[in-house]
Amino acid sequence: MSTIKQDIRARDTLGASALRPDGVAKVTGSFSFSSDMWAENMLWGATLRSPHPYARIISVDTTQALLISGVSAVLTAQDVPGKSTYGLISADQPVFASDYVRYMGEPVAVVAADHPETCRRALAAIVVNYEVLTPVVDPELAMLATTEQIHPDGNLIRRQHISHGDPKATGEITVEGNYTIGMQDQAFLGLEAAMAFPDSGGNGVELHIATQWLHEDRGQIAACLSLPEENVRLVLGGVGGAFGAREDISLQVHCCLLALRTGRPIKMQYSREESFFGHVHRHPAKIWMRHHANRDGKIVKIESRMVFDGGAYTSTSPAVLINGITHTQGPYQCDNAVVDGFAVRTNNPPCGAMRGFGVVQACFAHESQMDLLAEACGLSAVDIRLKNAMRTGDKLITGQTVESVAPVERCIRETNAIPMPEPLAPNANVLEFPGGSGRTADRHNIIRGIGWGVSIKNLMYSEGFDDYATARCTLSNGVASLKFATSEVGQGFVTLAPQIARSVLGIDDVVLETSDTQIGSAGSTSASRQTWMSGGAVDGACRLVRERLFEHVGKQHNIDPIRLMVENTDIIDTVGTFRISVAEATQ
């Protein structure tokens, strides 16, 4: 038992500036991303995709592909043993197109072969007979009653109306505009890749995958494979960026199907071109917005109509739409509003989660409107925003009171007080140009402009989603082991979780066990939620362990556990002189 107080040294606890535990491996190139996986006796998988945005499939002939030496399997829609569709919110997207293809790049078949080149030859040998149809690419047209319904569930994914305050309120000044926001791709550096290992007997599969939500993937995969969820095990592969695009299924089901059919490990990975086809994108949107204001610039009412193009399938379109329309007002006071929002199916590529999740589209419109309003009222871009800045206690157009801190005015004033950088000298070194060593601009192309944009973004999931996360902590010989299914996609949870354990338990050595589905769900790494949710789960697990540790130490040394606390790396008696290191107490 230690009775001498130890020197307090710098520790990697909460609040410390910490090195990322995966940082050195990533910058030296030794970090294992999902595309680096390899296995003995593995086969390669590849996907045949539709060249048409809308067509009826007349027939699929895989005969010649199967005759190619090295080809082990060719699978189509008829080979899916379970549910033929999947989806995050609505299971409306086929594993393989069977009757219609609804966007260019939709999967029609997959092959497994001994080499990527063999896969390429096999894909080229598959004969698909299409009846090419006229695609519906305009969401406004898609909503007309006279337009063909391109999906059994119809063309309208969701419509939502918001009315707040007095819908008839008007202002002395009105400004309005129409805004078009284009599709955008997340373009993460680590392309989609996975490795599936079949269980002997074909009764289960283990998938190593870069994803944002292991358990959600597992549920969809198991349903398509017609396997119990416990027979489908997912392990997090190294993730090279996500930004929302890994919330949806891409190659997961295909990879597992091939592994179960061949009885061998299957590796699938997308090229950059195929990645654009293989995941969802940011929703294109068309937004009309009108602001009513008093002559002094105070907003009286906001009206808006937003149309989000969800592409061929639902993905997260209903949630993206609700995020967009509920952020119509931006970070500004607004007593009256009338907003209509539509999420629509078209034959464009499927759209879903991307950073900002609908708020980006709304922000582009409401900030453009604020500039128009400033001009109409004869105010500066800064003053119009200060006059309308949201404060704690204000209500959103949904009726929700902003109870948390809302330092909008402070942010604007402090940003405005930041001095502008000095102009570039005529003989400035190219490394001083925007983009630096990336050489993205030449001197004669650089023009300095000043613009203002202020935004508000929700945290966590929306619409009362029943959210939770799970974590486990074990402590032995001064070493804490943490287990969770949280996807590390670069946000730094692998740094934060050990800091929580060190702070709560008074230890320095923390082991992070593999992130997989052998523990309860951690939810998605999205919506800025993991620090709160999975961090809270880790904190809760560590506190329970600490409580049991205090009970153990109290029993061993005849001290009421309620008197014990952790100080640095020791357990101390708060009303006595007893002190013991956590390492010694856990031997």
Specify whether the CB–CB gap between 115 and 70 falls below 8 A: yes
Helices (H) and strands (E) in the chain, counts: 14, 23
Specify whether the CB–CB gap between 34 and 238 falls below 8 A: yes
Residue 568's pLDDT is 95
Band (pLDDT 50/70/90 cuts) for residue 319 is very high
Residue 5's pLDDT is 43
Residue 4's pLDDT is 40
Tally of residues, the chain: 587
For residue 212, CA distances in Å to 70, 150, 237, 278, 545 come to 34, 30, 11, 15, 28
Specify whether the CB–CB gap between 200 and 262 falls below 8 A: no
Specify whether the CB–CB gap between 494 and 512 falls below 8 A: yes
Q: Give the list of residues 6+ apart from residue 64 with CB closer than 8 angstroms, or none.
A: 125, 126, 127
> Cα separation of 384 and 386, whole Å?
6
Mean pLDDT of 190-194: 97
* Amino acid (one-letter) located at 323: N
> Cα separation of 369 and 297, whole Å?
12
Specify whether the CB–CB gap between 283 and 292 falls below 8 A: no
> Cα separation of 406 and 108, whole Å?
49
Q: Give the list of residues 6+ apart from residue 342 with CB closer than 8 angstroms, or none.
A: 139, 143, 156, 158, 159, 306, 307, 308, 321
pTM for the full predicted model = 0.94
Examine the pLDDT at 211 and tell me if it is beyond 80.
yes
Band (pLDDT 50/70/90 cuts) for residue 6 is very low
Residue 1's pLDDT is 42
Q: What percentage of the chain has pLDDT greater than the value 70?
A: 98
Residue 48's pLDDT is 98
Q: How many CA atoms lie within 13 A of 475 on its CB side?
A: 26
510-560 pLDDT per residue, tens: 999 999 999 999 999 999 999 999 999 999 999 999 999 999 999 999 999
Closest C-alpha to 47, from 119, 127, 102: 119
Tokens coding 306: 């937003």
Average pLDDT of the chain to the nearest whole number: 95
For residue 139, CA distances in Å to 142, 180, 289, 344, 423 come to 5, 12, 18, 6, 45
Mean pLDDT of 227-247: 97
Alpha carbon 107 to chain centroid, angstroms = 23
Band (pLDDT 50/70/90 cuts) for residue 437 is confident
Domains and CATH numbers, the chain: 34-134+187-278 (3.90.1170.50), 139-185+282-416 (3.30.365.10), 471-585 (3.30.365.10)
Task: State the alpha helices, DSSP H only, in 425-529.
Answer: 493-505
